[in-house]
Structure 1
Amino acid sequence: MLRRLIVIVTAAILFNSSLTLAQSKKPKLPDKFPPSPLEITTPDPLLPRLPKDKQPLSSEERQKLEPALDALNQEAAMKLQAGDQVTAFEIWNRELRLRRFLGLLAEVQALSRVGAIAWKQNDSQEVQYITQRLQAIQKQAQSQKAVDLELWRSLGQAYQNVRSPKLALEAYDPVLLTVRQQKDPTAIVETLKIIGELHLSWFDYSKAAPIYEELLSLATSQKDSLNEVAYLQRLAEIYEQTQQPQMSLNILSKLAEIYVNENNLTEIPELKLAIGSNYESLAKKDPNLLLEAFKNYQESYTTAWQLQQYVRAGEALQKLIALYRSQGQIEEALQTSQILVETQAQSANFYGMMQAYDQIGQLYLERKEYPQALTAFQKGLELAQQLKHEEAYFTGQIEKVSKANF
């Protein structure tokens, strides 16, 4: 018994000792941030001199290095095409490390190219390495007295390729400032367009709006009607997204005026619908504006019917019916609903016809005109049976009206 106790105590002491020893030897934490392969300084056979040498390459050295780097790019592309992504990016990283000896612009352009590929291949680690290197180059560029427009534009494009819109916007700021100082209208417009698209890609509508307002102003002053329409369309989209009905109304009205002057009526029905919706929103504070909403919905329907845009005509009629109902004008709503049935028939929209008959039935029910409501629901059921859709609903409505009527 004593012997057994000694064994147990000894085992316990050994266990505790080994536990203490294990605790004292803490395992090494893995390196969470491995060094960027773009910062490796190991000498490369293609490099004529050591990286420590800051002397620029001679023209002869550049002539030797450039085709060698182009060959590395081709080799990497072939590896990627063959399915060896790891080796491909190892080769590209080697190319990128050496590209920096050809100058900042050459390096940024290469980073931009490889960054686009890395993003497409969903290689987030490579994208991070490239983004970090671009930021380091940006700091160098900021320290320069003069703004190198080509370099900053290339930085902006590179950031776009790695999907970093905020960083891209930072890169285009000095570009815009410089071209404004140079009073270069073409460069100003091109830069503003890029900045506007970047804001939209970030869904930053509040910052995109003044950019497109400036572009619109420039296009108007230059009588550039094509771009004027494009910027108005962009602004209409922006003000719709930001729920600014008055601003949206101003833009859409300008668009409508342009289309009418150009006799381009195809766009009018949709525009008039949007204008009517904005008036309807503004009418919540000023009910008098409802008349403008009615007027624009009617114009939308009339023009759409003339152009045989029956789907759009149906949308305009639905808007009119909703407005009539909201104002308690049931008779007008019924008359418009009958026109809606004909419109849906013109476009062979049987589902739309079925819904229109349901709407007519509901309107007759409001007026307790049960025979008329019954007829409408029966016509709706006929269509429902053809479509094999909502048959039970219309059967229920018919039973309900029959009980109420008799």
Structure 2
Amino acid sequence: MLRRLSVTMTATATLCLLCSSPTLAASKKPTQPDKFPPNPLELTTPDPLLPRSPKDKQPLTPQERQNLEPALDQLNQQAAATLQAGDRITAFDIWNRELRLRRYLGPLAEVQALSRVGEIAWRENERQEVQYITQRLQVIQKQAQSQKTTADLQLLQALGQAYQGVRSPKEALQVYDQVLVGVRQQKDTTAEVNILKIIGELHLNWFDYASAAATYEQLLTFASSRGDRANETAYLQQLAYIYKQANQPEKSVKIRNKLAEVYQQENNQIQLVALKQAIGSDYEALARENPSLLQEAFKNYEEAYTTAWQSEQFVRAGEILQKLIALYRSQGQVEEALQASQILLQAQERSANFYGLMNAYDQIGQLHLQRKDYPQARTAFQKGLEIAQQLNYDEVYFTQQIQKTSGRSSQ
């Protein structure tokens, strides 16, 4: 009896499976669950804070707006408090309700609220919420595409700021490009400069160095034409950084030479030293393709360490001399490298850099070995050993170098 019942139940289950299969029961397709939930900002359910049904397209009266605004501010405060209490889901449910209702106060008020909540959503890593807000911003942007009045420019700027908040640089740049066209049509140069700054920072933040450079070149032209020295210097500094990051030494040299003129006029020796060192490095890189530029590298390194010495920047002078010595050695200019090494010794002594002083003696010893001047090499290594013993560092190395020179004579 039990066996018969088991067979009957198995057969019934098999029949149910067959009937539910798409092959044998094509008319009964299973319902697919929604892959993407609806955007809560697009819901049109009635809300008790609204004076009328959402289906009523009539704009709110001034009194109705005045009544609604404080209620929405209260929702914002409630959501913030809920988030602080640790209930993220409820907090963003409240914010979404506020955002749906902000729409009735006009596009500018809605975008400003979307910007505020979008920044919070990004910070809290609420990716779905960021997506909802971005989608809503895109809808508002499309509605504003054909508008060209001053008020609409304000809306577009708010959209750009909101896109920045949800980290959508492509959309933000599209909006700011529209704003740029608008302010240029109005011949508002102050607004144009401000928008260019925002565009430049956006490109830079997202590592688009080519576009950032083009934007800051425009800003530099503006500043130069108006005699705005402070901003001209700032834009030159920014361009020098951009071209360095973009690994474009030729353009970097051009900008840095302009910047060097500014520092010289201002007698800004600290900045000038660092800049001359950087220019030397740029010319050194360019000389790999064009050896005739090598003299420019030597010239700028020499000017850099001379200025550093005069302004008592002995640590920086030591760094530059190291670069200069390495460049001399790469060109087989041993005598020049030795002369620079003697100056390096003085720089390390004045900056009390004992490790640097020890390494400088080692470098001098190696240069004398290259010249096969063994007595001079041994003297340098012995001085290096004295410092190594004081530092309790690399004593074995210097002892070995001294042993290599023992019994040899200059040829």
User: C-alpha distance in 2, partners of 1:159/1:404?
Assistant: 74
User: C-alpha distance in 2, partners of 1:6/1:49?
Assistant: 66
Deviation at 1:31, TM superposition (A): 3.2
Q: CA 1:208–1:19 in 2, change beyond 3 Å: closer, same or farther?
A: same
Measured on the aligned residues, the alpha-carbon RMSD in Å equals 2.9
Counting only pairs closer than 5 Å after superposition, residues 141-156 of structure 1 correspond to structure 2 as 141-144=144-147, 146=149, 148-156=152-160
User: Which shows bigger deviation, 145-154 or 363-372?
Assistant: 363-372
Is the contact between residue 118 and residue 162 of structure 2 (CA under 8 Å) also seen in structure 1? yes
Is the contact between residue 165 and residue 201 of structure 1 (CA under 8 Å) also seen in structure 2? no
Deviation at 1:276, TM superposition (A): 1.4
Structure 1 spans left out of the alignment, 5+ residues: none
Deviation at 1:387, TM superposition (A): 4.7
> Which of 265, 271, 281 is matched with 1:277 structurally?
281
User: C-alpha distance in 1, partners of 2:10/2:101?
Assistant: 61
Counting only pairs closer than 5 Å after superposition, residues 308-347 of structure 1 correspond to structure 2 as 308-347=312-351
Q: CA 1:269–1:145 in 2, change beyond 3 Å: closer, same or farther?
A: closer
How many residues of Structure 1 are paired with residues of Structure 2 in the alignment?
402
Is the contact between residue 284 and residue 297 of structure 2 (CA under 8 Å) also seen in structure 1? yes
2:59 paired with 1:56: yes
Q: Which amino acid aligns with 2:119?
A: A
Q: Which residue of 2 aligns with 1:80?
A: 83
Deviation at 1:393, TM superposition (A): 4.7
User: Which shows bigger deviation, 162-171 or 256-265?
Assistant: 256-265
Is the contact between residue 115 and residue 158 of structure 1 (CA under 8 Å) also seen in structure 2? yes
- Please give the TM-score of this superposition, normalised by the length of structure 1: 0.89
List per-residue Cα deviations over 1:102-157 (Å, max 9, x = no partner).
Answer: 11100000000111111111222211111111111111111446471100000000
User: C-alpha distance in 1, partners of 2:200/2:212?
Assistant: 5
Structure 2 spans left out of the alignment, 5+ residues: 23-27
2:191 paired with 1:187: yes
User: C-alpha distance in 1, partners of 2:363/2:31?
Assistant: 73
Counting only pairs closer than 5 Å after superposition, residues 362-381 of structure 1 correspond to structure 2 as 362-381=366-385
2:13 paired with 1:37: no
Is the contact between residue 148 and residue 182 of structure 2 (CA under 8 Å) also seen in structure 1? no
User: C-alpha distance in 2, partners of 1:382/1:7?
Assistant: 101
User: Which shows bigger deviation, 394-403 or 91-100?
Assistant: 394-403
List per-residue Cα deviations over 1:194-233 (Å, max 9, x = no partner).
Answer: 1111111111111111211111111011111000000001
Q: CA 1:397–1:212 in 2, change beyond 3 Å: closer, same or farther?
A: same
> Which of 304, 308, 311 is matched with 2:308 structurally?
304
Give 3-state SS (helix, strand or coil) of 1:149's partner.
Answer: helix
Q: Which residue of 1 aligns with 2:25?
A: none
Is the contact between residue 310 and residue 347 of structure 1 (CA under 8 Å) also seen in structure 2? yes
Deviation at 1:396, TM superposition (A): 5.0
User: C-alpha distance in 1, partners of 2:81/2:5?
Assistant: 67
Is the contact between residue 39 and residue 132 of structure 2 (CA under 8 Å) also seen in structure 1? yes
Q: Which residue of 2 aligns with 1:96?
A: 99
Counting only pairs closer than 5 Å after superposition, residues 200-349 of structure 1 correspond to structure 2 as 200-349=204-353
User: Which shows bigger deviation, 54-63 or 386-395?
Assistant: 386-395
User: Which shows bigger deviation, 224-233 or 156-165?
Assistant: 156-165
Deviation at 1:243, TM superposition (A): 2.4
2:113 paired with 1:110: yes
